[in-house]
Chains A and B, each alone.
Chain A
């Protein structure tokens, strides 16, 4: 910050306005970009942002999109994403995004405006109980009531958002706090000691885990998004360790990219729409090494049928994720990077005593499962199969190291299955909350962070419409995001469940009136492409990639294609359905299963 020659600019006694304190704290925290939307309560802060050039503000068209964009920024960079919105509706519109960030452990700091402290509780214009509303959907939140707390709160907010299991933090800023005088404190002067999650693994537990691993005959690594959050070094250590052991590995939806998808030891994604080999290996394994994954219901299927004969090792930085759904034998609370470094060191120490032949039979079994080719599909004629569309897209962009975002539904699963991700921070999807509308603003956030990279939003017609106003944002900032929309005119996943569980009664899952997406794109000032025939797909993809600005490519697909394989709700991994022909009257489609979401 420019200073009028005062010698001790950074001391705790220096007094600024509240807004100046906020901007200075953001700069000190390394913030380069804010995603936001102005309004009455935050005008003093916008005024301060206007007067400086260190932080760039990206104006979205809806506050939910601001949070998703911050998530996309955070997950593609590893930095904290920052959001700024006004009070009342500005704050309430962030709730979906904040919940999404909480479920998927994304570091976000969301600054919300608030009415002046003396008006709080009076039902003032654009007043909402923001800390009350966001308490259950944030990792932590603050209402700043005293100017002297402001700098401390902001520094702690960033510390909490990025430490341990990352998550969203809300700081509610009453307008009089922003306008009044407030002292500045540097990050070094801030007190951060009350939140200090454990990062180093217990060495005894590491040894116990290694004891299980060296004896294992049917081992498997089950790895989740915690690895991506731990960072690229953790992912490198994982790859090194998995290769040193020779064990197979499966990744969760959130973990894709933590291990190279093209590696022969990778069995594909597991869970409800995971591969046959990954799910069968989870069912039959004798030692499971779970790292940065949380045994969620989309992964485990029916709990009493989950991996019945395995001993389990679980590494997680959040103690509350351990023994939550599935009891484990060796619990290790630690940062994945440090646990993996310890594993690798211990494994090498023991290497001379380990017999690699003991897992040969296991790999033979896995080869047989793989031969089933559970992701197989047939592209015949001119009707485009969604799987084919995703694979062709991948063929065209594989050497460009793209960042891929998705929305939620069938297209998301097809993308997870058919678009191999080789490196971390290239795959941004809404896993825990399943937020339709996540993908496009997340792509905008990722493109802001990586202006020269290819960013693709693989989406569906229903999802994209939920956040389509953000095309205006993409145009304003000249963000060349490529939207690859699989249009089947259905809420495809809803219809798939209606077909499976509700006698094919397709209640309200069909969109009777969709816009002309080409004209819609053009109305925003973007480029629109429609492709309806398989023979035109390659040309359409090339045209999309060649255009320098944002493009909406509408791929009209086979409207009745469903996602397979599938473990229906309430079924176990070994009850996986491979194709529609596999659907039985008896079997995994149970009454109990229907109750599950």
Chain B
């Protein structure tokens, strides 16, 4: 395999863990075994404790609009170690976890904050690598 094909293969493999379809917090809470199916067909299970935590910090009116898993968008254009969170309910959750003020529907967080977020929500957050 040429190096180009190896690189293309690695880039294609970067996002195989992403779900085919995100589910809302409401759907996850009502499911006996909350999970999403990844692009490679495997299951990604959400921890009940995390869902309960999200239930406490998200107002009930947003349970329908908060889509899980929350995507931490890694875009090399933002610079090394920077990540982006998109969507109003998602930004509110992240700002509440990090105790950081949020403005608008998008938020940029940095590596130490990503570590805190992943430690707090290991199954309900996932990385998305911007390949295109």
Is the pairing of A and B real?
no
Q: Which residues in A have some Cβ–Cβ distance to B below 8 Å?
A: none
